[in-house]
Structures are given as structure tokens and as C-alpha cells.
């Protein structure tokens, strides 16, 4: 054929690859070095989309490259197949969530195969399989035994649309991460993982990730953990044994504290409230509860609050200051109470001005009086109006104040974290059941290990519509069981786990996904883990990545995992957008992956994804040209068929072609190592053009150097366009069906001897005396060489500011400077 028929090429190789099972790690010889390359696994919400196409194309470049470099590469495939979207879609279409989910998985699996991602299909898993979630439950129970999984009654985020609670991490700007509804609060007893116990270690261990994870992800994690140094200070309240303890990051400003504020919706507010203020507080709290989190947290909202009818003693001056309740103080941060320093904290100043409370400046920052301007002065300065600490700077004042307070037993240094424990109960059906049985006599009793998994009941035709309690609660024969401890009547926990629990350990399961005796084989884990390259979206910067890091540490402490960080290196891909906007069905600007694949072919789409720019940048599909990619692939194929059909020349081969190829191989290798995949593709295009020119000129297509070059080209191209690469490889005479696939070739090596000739040593003389030797390209121009020599540090030093009288340049070997003595 003289036209490149990508459809025929796809149809030819896909079944051959499937038959060869090319990427099965089990077939690799034992001694090979190993790499674990992992793409964040897919959520089966429909067929694959453009975002998947980009992310998996990137991961596949990394996986294929390392395989060609001689590594045994674990590149497994799986599905994060529990979760709300499946359940919501199932409700909408009146389907069984299981059928819906597994149907989508099969669709995606077919698309992955067609898309030629080099997965080891033997290492496949689905988190909604009982074989998988049995071990999710097992891990839950190990954490429970350690006190790392516990129940607590507290005010939680509630999504009124999905009728379920959400973790803090799933509330984005006051809205449900999934459906966008405004979040409200509910007080419920729920299960939590004690991630807060790991806050400091989660921070400390980030130093090992520095340089290997995107800096912005590390920053987001640091901010989310939110370590804050400060002090707890006690204010004694008249007629109450317990003092009110506040958390402050600015103990130096203690003398400026003119009132206290406790969170209106905290128990403390109720306890402190004087009887004659009770009605007003109750009414205020009712009003606050109706507000969404978004409204509560907005900083420009007018400050509201209630005086609680009490005063507290200032710990240093003994002065009585009023105690207020307000919604701008959060019940679940710090101690849920603050000392208000209106002069130096804007929120406090707004409150003070709203209620006519005193403003006392205690830090002289040189700025105008906040009481008059309404602008708090938060900067550094010298302490004033502060007794013993007058005249001190901030840090000294903090130390002195804490010392004073410690002496009186009224304060101490503390570290506070913004991170909250991970709330994992969900009132939904399609998730991993919590393996706990509630007994009226024995309390929360773990389901014995030999009774795992606690399977989801078959609920065909049941009403899964959200009602605020888990649908599991409506299945009495599932709920009512004997207590494993006393045998009495007891009930299963009817909530399911947050799906982020499933995905926080799947990378461990992937090393031995079919092990039926344990969650993972420790021997296999030692061989493969931790993950060498993890590829996925930045939207997981805090949720999934923080949870996975936490769980790895917890399992490490349980003696189950040797390492403490799960992902050595992380790569975030950008988004695929259209005309500057993110794609969405509702906006009507969705590009359908299936259609693109049918129009341009798999290789052209994959190549376009990678060629569009650096992996971390967004791709605007309106600006790229899959048609152009297709033309390039056709050129490669034509070159391969010209060479493949030409009579083989037995000569030594063309040196120019060899040198060009060696140069490209060296560059492309480095570019792949540096993850500059788009530039690597540009080099392959240049190589293709150079070879075409040579063959159309005076180098015969049968020249051995040309054949080597096209073989190298096919191998390098196989990272991006595996079908075209395989077809070209076969055209060059390789018996793919017998196992000689391009994806099992050896990565080409650059012939250094050829490249060495490209550099010359240039001698730099000053007044005839050799002063410096420079390595320069043989092709350097006289002008460039002159500039290089004059800018050389040794030469600059010798010239010492003098202008040379004469500069003689003989590229590439000599520069002679004549300087007045």
C-alpha cells in the first residue's frame, strides 16, 4: 500500500499484542531491576474521556520507556469502583449500581486496550470486589484495634443533596465536592480515622518528597495540615471552676486582649451563658445553624454575636473583660475560644466596632490608630502598653509572655493543626461496609477476621434514594445479627466507608492483587514498592494523596509495610480544555474521545496529547492538530517501508546519518529522563525529516546506517505511537507475532565515539601565551566563539577591565587576544 492506513494497522496489531500478553511482569526474569509506574486508577463513570486519554498517555510513556531500558515494569490497571456517582447514576436510571459499575468497567477496559496502554492485565483489581474490600475491612479493623479508627459524636458536614456526611476535604469553598450543593451541619455519631496523630510526621516526611513531587502539591498539603505555633492561655471566669482556654498565635499581644469570644455553636458557649442571656443565645445559634459554611466563613460579612453575661479575669492584669459568643470563631479549631485583640486582628476589630468594645494598641507598628482607621495593624513592631514586655520585639515578647503565664500556671506553648480527623462514615449503599457490630451490652464489636468480608446485600429493586440513613439500614435480615462477643441480639453498622478509604491502599494491593490470605504479599511489596512514578491530576493534591500517605504510615506502624511514604515521585498532568474553558457536558463543549479516536486513530491522539506541551500544562484541544500528528506518523511509516523494501546495502554505512541519529538518541534519552516529552517528539520529527532528506538525496534507503536510524526511530516512537511504531518495526523485518515486538526492543544507545568528534578543544591565548582551553562544538561560528572566549571567567580575570587591542579567531581551534602590556 502507498497510503498509511492507521485503521488497518490498529486492527492488525491489537489482537497480536493481546495474544502475546506483552506486559505481564510475571514473565520477566527474576534478576531484572524493577520499576513501579502507577497511574491514578479510573473511576468507572462512563467511557474514558479526553482527560483519561492524556493522563494515561503520559503514564504509558514512563512505563514503556523503562521497559525498553531493561526494567521489569509493574504497570497495573484497576478501578476505584465504589462511590456516590455510581449510586446516583443508578438511581437516576433505575439500575443496580453494581450492574452499572461493572458495565462501565468493561467499556473502559475495552477502550484502554484499544488505546494501547501497556498495562499488565493480570494485575487487575476493582475496589468493589469482595476479594478487595475484604482487605479494606481488615485494615479498618487493624486501625480500630490501635485506636486509630474511632467513633465520635460531633457536628459534621452534611450534603443535603446527597444526603450523606462528607469529610472536610470533600467540602470545597463550602460546597459538596461532588454535587456542588451548599453544605450544612448536623450532629451525628460517626467513624473517624485519627489522621491528626500523624500531622507532624505528614509534614516532616515531605522533605523526602521535595524535588520529586510538584512544589504546589507539597504547599497545598502543608497548608491543609496547617501547623500553627502559639500558646494556650487560661482566663478564669467568675463562678466557674474551669477557666476558659483560648488558642492564640500571638501571645505577645495579650495586653491588647479586651474581650473573649467563644464559638456560638460550641458546648462551651451554652455552659458559660448567664441565665438571662439564654434566650438570646439560643435564638442566635438557631440563626447561625441555618447559614451555610460559605456564608459563615466569608470575611466581609457583618459581625454578629451575643454577650454571654459574664466576665473573665485577664491573666496578667486581673482586669475583668467581657465574654461573647459569635459565629466567626469556629468550634472545631484550637480550643473553640479566642482572646480578641481588636487593634491587631481585623476580625476582632470588626467585632469590637460593631459592639462598641475597647481597642487597645499594644504593638507600635508606626501605622495609624486602628480604632480610628478601622484597619487592624497585624505587622511587627515594638510592644507598648504591655507592662513588663514593653519595648520588646515580637519573638522576645512571645517568649517573655509565655514564661510569665507558665509561672502562674495560666498558659503554655502549644502547636495547633488545622488538620481534622478523617470522617469516613457515609450513609450510602455503594461502598465498603464498616465491619462493626453494635451490641447493647458489648458496644462496638469488630466482626471477626474469619467472617470477612462483610458483603453488601443483594438489593435488586430496593430504593436507594438518599434518605439520610444508609439504605443498608432498611434490610433487617442483613442488619440483625448475633453479637460476636456475647451472642445476644445486635446490629451491624449500616454506614459504608468513604471511597477514599478504598483508594488509600490500592497501590499496596497491586503487587499481589489475587492474594487471598492477606491484603498484600510482603515479599512482593519489598520487590516493587514504594511506587517509583505516580501520575495523576492535581485535584488529588490533598484528599487522596494525604490519605494514602497517612494510611501508609499507619500500616508501617502496624509492622505491615516497611516504608513510610507510598509515592517516591509524583507527576501531575494538566487538563484537556477547549477554547480556553474546561470541558463539560452542560457547557456543550465536550470533545468525545471515542470520536477523536475514530477520526484520527489512537496514535495520532496519543501523540497529540504528549506533543501539545509539557505534561503539567493544560492542553487546549482547539489549538492542537491531531491531523498533523497523523501526517507525521504517515511519514515515519513511509520511511520505514522505503527502507524495508530497499535492497540491503552491505557497505559500512553513512557517517552523517549515523552521527545525526546518535545525536537525536542522546537528546531524546535525556529529554525523556527530564520528562520533557513534547520536546522529545519534536526531535523525532527532526530525525524523520533528516532521514527523508538523506534518502531522497544521495544515501540509498538500503544503507545500513539508515536502517539502524529507522529502527531507533521506531523504538523511540513506540513510547507515543505504539501502533505506527510496531507497523514500522514489522516492515523493517521483525517477526512481531513471534514475540519480536518493538515494545520488547532495547532502547537505542548513542554512539559516543561519533558524538565525540563533534566537540573540539579551543585554545585561548593572551599575547601568544595559552591561558585557557574551551570545549566547543566543531560547528561553532567565529562570532559565537569570540563571545564565548571573551566571557570566559579566566579571560575576564586576565583582562582585568582592559579592552583587547585585537582578537584573532580561528574557529573552532583558536582565539588569540592581543592586549596592551
Summarize as ranges the residues that interact with ligand ANZ (CB under 6 A). 228, 247-250, 253, 329-330, 333-334, 336, 338-339, 341, 344-345, 416
**What is the 8-class DSSP label of residue 40?**
P
Distance CA 304, CA 282 (A): 14
Residue 446 touches which member of ligand ANZ, Zn ion, none, C-beta under 5-8 Å by kind: none
What is the smallest separation between the CB atom of 323 and ligand ANZ, expressed in angstroms? 15
- Locate 272 and state its grid cell: 458559660
Residue closer to Zn ion by CB (options 468, 487) is: 487
Contact between 441 and Zn ion (CB under 5 A)?
A: yes
- 363 beta partners: 383
CA distances 599 to 7, 594, 602, 604, Å, are 10, 9, 9, 10
What is the smallest separation between the CB atom of 82 and Zn ion, expressed in angstroms? 29
What is the smallest separation between the CB atom of 228 and ligand ANZ, expressed in angstroms? 3
Contact 248, 235 (CB under 8 A): no
Contact 198, 192 (CB under 8 A): no
730: cis peptide before it, omega within 30°? Answer: no
Residue 333 touches which member of Zn ion, ligand ANZ, none, C-beta under 5-8 Å by kind: ligand ANZ
What is the smallest separation between the CB atom of 208 and Zn ion, expressed in angstroms? 45
Distance CA 811, CA 571 (A): 43
- 480 beta partners: 491
Residue 57: its H or E element: helix 50-68
Residue 344 touches which member of Zn ion, ligand ANZ, none, C-beta under 5-8 Å by kind: ligand ANZ
Residue closer to ligand ANZ by CB (options 372, 746) is: 372
What is the smallest separation between the CB atom of 284 and ligand ANZ, expressed in angstroms? 17
Residue 553 counted as an annotated binding residue: no
- Locate 819 and state its grid cell: 592586549
**With CB under 5 A as the contact rule, which of the stretches 144-152, 485-493, 515-523, 599-607 interacts with Zn ion?**
485-493
What is the smallest separation between the CB atom of 218 and ligand ANZ, expressed in angstroms? 19
Q: What are phi and psi of 623, to 5 degrees?
A: -100, -5
Residue closer to Zn ion by CB (options 399, 485) is: 485
333: helix, strand or coil: coil
Residue 303 touches which member of ligand ANZ, Zn ion, none, C-beta under 5-8 Å by kind: none
What is the smallest separation between the CB atom of 288 and ligand ANZ, expressed in angstroms? 13
**With CB under 5 A as the contact rule, which of the stretches 47-55, 487-495, 659-667, 707-715 interacts with Zn ion?**
487-495
Distance CA 797, CA 73 (A): 52
Residue closer to ligand ANZ by CB (options 339, 724) is: 339
Distance CA 363, CA 191 (A): 45
Residue 483 touches which member of ligand ANZ, Zn ion, none, C-beta under 5-8 Å by kind: Zn ion
Residue 416 touches which member of Zn ion, ligand ANZ, none, C-beta under 5-8 Å by kind: ligand ANZ
What is the smallest separation between the CB atom of 29 and ligand ANZ, expressed in angstroms? 55
What is the smallest separation between the CB atom of 439 and Zn ion, expressed in angstroms? 3
Q: How far is CA 131 from the centre of its chain?
A: 27
What is the smallest separation between the CB atom of 141 and Zn ion, expressed in angstroms? 17
Residue closer to ligand ANZ by CB (options 245, 573) is: 245
Residue 439 touches which member of ligand ANZ, Zn ion, none, C-beta under 5-8 Å by kind: Zn ion
DSSP 510-570: TTSTT-SSSSS-HHHHHHHPSBSEEEEEGGGTTHHHHHHHHHHHHHHHTTS-S-S-SBS-E
Contact between 483 and Zn ion (CB under 5 A)?
A: yes
- Locate 663 and state its grid cell: 545525536
Residue 329 touches which member of Zn ion, ligand ANZ, none, C-beta under 5-8 Å by kind: ligand ANZ
* Residues within window 355-394 making contact with Zn ion, judged by CB under 5 A: none
Residue 7: its H or E element: helix 6-20
- Locate 32 and state its grid cell: 531484572
Contact between 439 and Zn ion (CB under 5 A)?
A: yes
Residue 69 touches which member of ligand ANZ, Zn ion, none, C-beta under 5-8 Å by kind: none
Cβ neighbours for 165, distance < 8 A, ≥ 6 positions apart: 156, 157, 158, 159, 186, 188, 190, 423, 425, 426, 427
Residue closer to Zn ion by CB (options 486, 796) is: 486
What is the smallest separation between the CB atom of 577 and ligand ANZ, expressed in angstroms? 34
Distance CA 777, CA 757 (A): 9
Residue 441 touches which member of Zn ion, ligand ANZ, none, C-beta under 5-8 Å by kind: Zn ion
What is the smallest separation between the CB atom of 262 and ligand ANZ, expressed in angstroms? 9
Residue closer to ligand ANZ by CB (options 299, 586) is: 299
* Residues within window 411-430 making contact with Zn ion, judged by CB under 5 A: none
Residue closer to ligand ANZ by CB (options 322, 334) is: 334
* Residues within window 442-461 making contact with Zn ion, judged by CB under 5 A: 442
3-state helix, strand, coil in the chain (%, to 5): 40, 20, 35
Distance CA 636, CA 458 (A): 54
Distance CA 507, CA 358 (A): 57
340: helix, strand or coil: strand
Contact 43, 107 (CB under 8 A): no
Residue 336 touches which member of Zn ion, ligand ANZ, none, C-beta under 5-8 Å by kind: ligand ANZ
| Closest of 402, 377, 381, 403 to residue 392, by C-alpha | 381
Residue 493 touches which member of Zn ion, ligand ANZ, none, C-beta under 5-8 Å by kind: none
Distance CA 347, CA 338 (A): 11
Residue closer to ligand ANZ by CB (options 420, 659) is: 420
Residue closer to ligand ANZ by CB (options 329, 464) is: 329
Residue 442 touches which member of ligand ANZ, Zn ion, none, C-beta under 5-8 Å by kind: Zn ion
Residue closer to ligand ANZ by CB (options 230, 804) is: 230
**With CB under 5 A as the contact rule, which of the stretches 155-163, 366-374, 439-447, 552-560 interacts with Zn ion?**
439-447
# residues near Zn ion by CB under 5 A = 7
Residue 559 CB neighbour total at 10 angstroms: 8
What is the smallest separation between the CB atom of 231 and ligand ANZ, expressed in angstroms? 9
Contact 627, 608 (CB under 8 A): no
Q: What angle do CA 649, 651, 652 make, to 5 degrees?
A: 130
Residue closer to ligand ANZ by CB (options 313, 814) is: 313
- Locate 288 and state its grid cell: 447561625
Distance CA 662, CA 684 (A): 12
- 305 beta partners: 326
Residue selected from 8, 354, 486, 761 as contacting Zn ion according to rule CB under 5 A: 486
Contact between 485 and Zn ion (CB under 5 A)?
A: yes
Residue closer to Zn ion by CB (options 454, 542) is: 454
CA distances 396 to 206, 380, 383, Å, are 30, 12, 10
**Residue positions in the annotated binding site?**
585
**Residue positions in the annotated binding site for ATP?**
585
Binding site for Zn ion (CB under 5 A): 439, 441-442, 483, 485-486, 488
Amino acid at each position: 500500500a502507498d497510503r498509511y492506513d492507521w485503521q488497518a494497522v490498529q486492527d492488525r496489531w491489537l489482537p497480536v499484542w493481546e495474544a502475546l500478553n506483552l506486559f505481564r511482569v510475571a514473565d520477566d526474569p527474576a534478576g531484572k531491576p524493577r520499576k513501579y509506574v502507577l497511574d491514578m486508577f479510573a473511576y468507572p463513570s462512563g467511557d474514558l474521556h479526553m482527560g483519561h486519554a492524556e493522563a494515561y498517555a503520559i503514564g504509558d510513556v514512563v512505563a514503556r520507556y523503562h521497559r525498553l531500558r531493561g526494567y521489569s515494569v509493574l504497570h497495573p490497571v484497576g478501578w476505584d469502583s465504589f462511590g456516590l456517582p455510581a449510586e446516583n447514576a443508578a438511581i437516576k436510571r433505575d439500575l443496580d449500581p453494581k450492574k452499572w459499575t461493572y458495565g462501565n468497567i468493561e467499556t473502559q477496559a475495552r477502550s484502554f486496550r484499544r488505546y494501547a496502554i501497556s498495562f499488565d492485565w493480570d494485575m487487575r483489581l476493582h475496589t468493589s470486589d469482595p476479594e478487595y474490600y475484604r482487605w479494606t475491612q481488615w485494615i479498618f479493623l487493624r486501625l480500630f484495634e490501635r485506636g486509630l479508627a474511632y467513633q465520635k459524636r460531633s457536628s459534621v458536614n452534611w450534603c443535603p443533596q446527597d444526603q450523606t456526611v462528607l469529610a472536610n476535604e470533600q467540602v470545597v469553598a463550602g460546597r459538596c465536592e461532588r454535587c456542588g450543593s451548599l453544605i450544612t451541619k448536623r450532629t451525628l455519631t460517626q467513624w473517624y480515622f485519627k489522621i491528626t496523630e500523624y500531622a507532624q510526621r505528614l509534614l516532616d516526611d515531605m522533605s523526602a518528597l521535595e524535588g520529586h513531587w510538584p512544589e504546589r502539591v507539597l504547599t497545598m498539603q502543608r497548608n491543609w495540615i496547617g501547623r500553627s505555633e502559639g500558646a494556650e492561655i487560661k482566663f478564669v471566669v467568675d463562678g466557674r471552676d474551669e477557666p476558659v482556654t483560648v488558642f492564640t498565635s500571638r501571645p505577645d499581644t495579650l495586653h491588647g486582649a479586651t474581650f473573649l469570644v467563644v464559638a456560638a455553636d460550641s458546648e462551651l458557649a451554652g455552659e458559660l451563658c448567664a441565665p438571662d442571656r439564654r434566650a438570646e443565645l439560643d435564638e442566635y445559634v438557631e440563626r447561625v445553624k441555618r447559614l451555610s459554611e460559605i456564608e459563615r466563613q466569608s470575611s466581609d460579612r457583618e459581625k454578629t454575636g451575643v454577650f454571654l453575661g459574664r466576665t473573665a479575669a485577664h491573666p496578667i492584669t486581673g482586669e475583668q473583660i467581657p465574654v461573647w459568643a459569635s459565629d466567626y470563631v469556629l468550634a472545631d479549631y484550637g480550643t473553640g475560644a479566642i482572646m480578641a485583640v481588636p487593634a491587631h486582628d481585623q476580625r476582632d476589630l470588626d467585632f469590637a466596632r460593631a459592639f462598641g468594645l475597647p481597642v487597645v494598641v499594644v504593638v507600635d507598628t508606626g501605622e495609624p490608630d486602628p480604632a480610628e482607621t478601622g484597619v487592624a495593624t497585624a505587622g511587627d513592631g515594638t510592644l507598648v502598653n504591655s507592662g513588663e514586655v514593653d519595648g520588646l520585639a515580637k519573638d522576645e515578647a512571645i517568649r517573655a509572655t509565655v514564661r510569665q503565664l507558665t509561672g502562674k500556671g495560666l498558659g503554655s506553648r502549644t502547636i495547633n493543626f488545622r488538620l481534622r480527623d478523617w470522617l469516613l462514615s457515609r450513609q450510602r449503599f455503594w461502598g465498603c461496609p464498616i465491619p462493626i457490630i453494635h451490641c447493647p451490652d458489648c458496644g462496638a464489636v469488630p466482626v471477626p477476621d474469619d467472617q470477612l468480608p462483610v458483603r453488601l446485600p443483594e438489593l435488586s429493586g430496593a430504593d436507594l434514594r438518599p434518605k439520610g440513613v444508609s439504605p443498608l439500614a432498611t434490610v433487617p435480615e442483613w442488619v440483625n445479627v448475633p453479637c460476636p462477643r456475647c451472642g445476644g441480639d445486635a446490629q451491624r453498622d449500616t454506614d459504608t466507608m468513604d471511597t477514599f478509604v478504598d483508594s488509600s491502599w490500592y497501590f499496596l494491593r497491586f503487587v499481589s492483587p489475587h492474594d487471598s490470605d492477606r491484603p498484600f504479599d510482603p515479599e512482593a511489596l519489598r520487590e516493587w514498592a514504594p511506587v517509583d512514578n505516580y501520575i495523576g491530576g492535581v485535584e488529588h493534591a490533598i484528599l487522596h494523596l494525604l490519605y494514602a500517605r497517612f494510611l501508609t504510615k499507619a500500616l508501617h506502624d502496624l509492622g505491615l509495610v516497611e516504608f513510610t511514604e507510598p509515592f517516591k515521585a509524583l507527576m501531575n498532568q494538566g487538563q484537556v480544555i477547549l477554547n480556553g474553558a474546561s470541558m463539560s457536558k452542560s457547557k456543550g463543549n465536550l470533545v468525545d474521545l471515542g470520536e477523536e479516536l475514530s477520526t484520527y486513530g489512537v496514535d495520532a491522539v496519543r501523540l497529540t496529547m504528549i506533543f501539545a506541551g509539557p505534561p503539567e500544562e493544560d492542553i487546549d484541544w482547539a489549538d492542537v492538530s491531531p491531523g498533523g500528528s497523523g501526517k507525521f506518523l504517515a511519514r515515519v511509516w513511509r520511511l520505514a517501508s522505503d527502507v524495508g523494501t530497499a535492497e540491503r546495502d552491505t557497505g559500512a554505512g553513512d557517517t552523517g546519518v549515523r552521527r545525526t541519529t546518535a545525536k537525536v538518541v542522546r537528546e531524546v534519552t535525556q529529554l525523556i529522563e527530564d520528562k520533557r516529552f513534547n520536546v522529545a517528539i519534536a526531535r523525532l520529527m527532526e530525525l524523520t525529516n533528516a532521514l527523508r532528506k538523506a534518502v531522497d538525496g544521495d544515501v540509498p534507503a538500503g544503507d545500513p546506517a539508515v536502517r539502524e536510524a529507522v529502527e531507533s526511530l521506531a523504538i523511540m516512537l513506540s513510547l507515543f505511537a505504539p501502533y505506527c511504531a510496531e507497523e514500522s518495526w514489522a516492515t523493517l523485518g521483525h517477526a512481531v507475532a513471534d514475540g519480536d515486538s518493538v515494545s520488547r526492543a532495547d532502547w537505542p544507545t548513542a554512539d559516543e565515539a561519533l558524538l565525540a568528534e563533534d566537540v573540539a578543544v579551543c585554545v585561548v591565548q593572551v599575547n601568544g601565551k595559552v591561558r585557557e582551553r574551551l570545549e566547543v562544538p566543531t560547528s561553532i561560528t567565529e562570532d559565537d566563539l569570540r563571545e564565548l572566549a571573551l566571557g570566559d571567567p579566566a579571560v575576564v580575570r586576565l583582562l582585568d577591565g582592559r579592552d583587547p587591542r585585537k582578537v584573532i579567531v580561528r574557529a573552532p581551534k583558536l582565539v588569540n587576544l592581543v592586549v596592551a602590556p
